[in-house]
Structure 1
């Protein structure tokens, strides 16, 4: 018995974005039925993920991701982009470089969101980064788990410590302190402001 579903439900069943599903339809990989009102409907019995993902692997692109925490590190961002581009070109890969300027604690950066949307949408076959921390300070393993589930190869050029680790870490700590300050300075306890001021001094002295 046929079970017809909407394009949103079909995309969810296949684990791809609606855009990818429309592309597969345009390429003739699957056919949609149309309601009298002109809406697409897909037969769930004919939606087998392995039929589409395997054929699509060769068409998925390589994405190189670069990030720095602050405007003062723009030169380092350019170096990252050049290293990534040179590496990908030497491998003969067709690639795109996505770059972000923002803290490794920030999960809402435009570039990162664009990258994750493409991975989840089944559009990326390979992710290339210079260091793990360039992706996220905390949570990179979760992104790698998503990559594994989506059959995305992850290439990390340098497994050692990033040369900008200390500077980035201080920036991340300052960001945490800023958030805590906004929450705690308004509280009734007089101890909280003193505690935060002490932490700030420690961070500033470590950068002196």
Structure 2
């Protein structure tokens, strides 16, 4: 039995998560041998012969508005460099829009890819790039479909106060845009005043 690989060793060999190995084995994509204790074991031949070539890493990035285009480009550079360093085949999905908006094109595309079992891993610069509220729902989908979640800068997540401040500004910006129009002078003035108030509250 010493020539057989454990689940973690098989995952390392194929460059996937242990959850994916268990799922593939349950679905019959790869063969396993059970020990007397009921543990899964794999041969290198079976694993290499069934290695999945269509596994995809998706790097997702988002900013709230087109005025933050430079920030979006910086995020993309970080994600591309990180994924390339890991040797992953990856696709970058970018979004413009509020973190409170669940109908962004890129986010919808990401969810469809995850639910169609095409995403091996999801890479984010930080958790807030996904959604302000509801990111845990996406992470649950990832868990169900065996998608690994990689967050590069966990230490850079905003504090509760910073997140609340940004959320309040975004909510009022959305409603004022609907009331006055996104390009109107009134809307821009409201957003400007909100940012000034937020600075004073820090």
Q: TM bucket by the smaller chain?
A: 0.5 to 0.7
SS of the residue 1:64 aligns to: strand
Pairing 1:79–2:56 present: no
**What is the root-mean-square deviation of aligned Cα atoms in Å?**
3.5
TM-score (norm 1): 0.59
Structure 2 residue runs of 5 or longer lacking an equivalent are 1-24, 32-49, 179-191
Q: CA deviation at 1:170?
A: 4.8
Quote the Cα distance in structure 2 between the aligned partners of 1:179 and 1:83: 29
Pairing 1:150–2:145 present: yes
Instruction: Tell me what 1:9 maps to.
Output: none
Indicate how the Cα distance of structure 1 residues 111 and 56 shifts in structure 2: closer, same or farther if over 3 A, else same.
farther
1:179-199 C-alpha deviation (Å, 9 max, x unpaired): 66799xxxxxxxxxxxxxxxx
Q: CA deviation at 1:206?
A: 1.6
Structure index of larger Rg:
1
SS of the residue 1:51 aligns to: coil
Instruction: Tell me what 2:134 maps to.
Output: 139
Structure 1 residue runs of 5 or longer lacking an equivalent are 1-47, 184-199
Instruction: Tell me what 1:186 maps to.
Output: none
Contact 2:125 2:151 in 1 (8 A): yes
SS of the residue 1:105 aligns to: coil
1:34-76 C-alpha deviation (Å, 9 max, x unpaired): xxxxxxxxxxxxxx97135996855220000011111221111
1:26-175 matched pairs, under 5 angstroms:
50-51=27-28, 58-162=53-157, 170=165, 172-175=167-170
Q: CA deviation at 1:160?
A: 1.8
Quote the Cα distance in structure 2 between the aligned partners of 1:148 and 1:108: 22
Contact 1:57 1:125 in 2 (8 A): no
TM-score (norm 2): 0.61
Contact 1:133 1:162 in 2 (8 A): yes
Quote the Cα distance in structure 1 between the aligned partners of 2:128 and 2:172: 20
Pairing 1:205–2:187 present: no
Indicate how the Cα distance of structure 1 residues 76 and 181 shifts in structure 2: closer, same or farther if over 3 A, else same.
closer
Q: CA deviation at 1:167?
A: 8.2
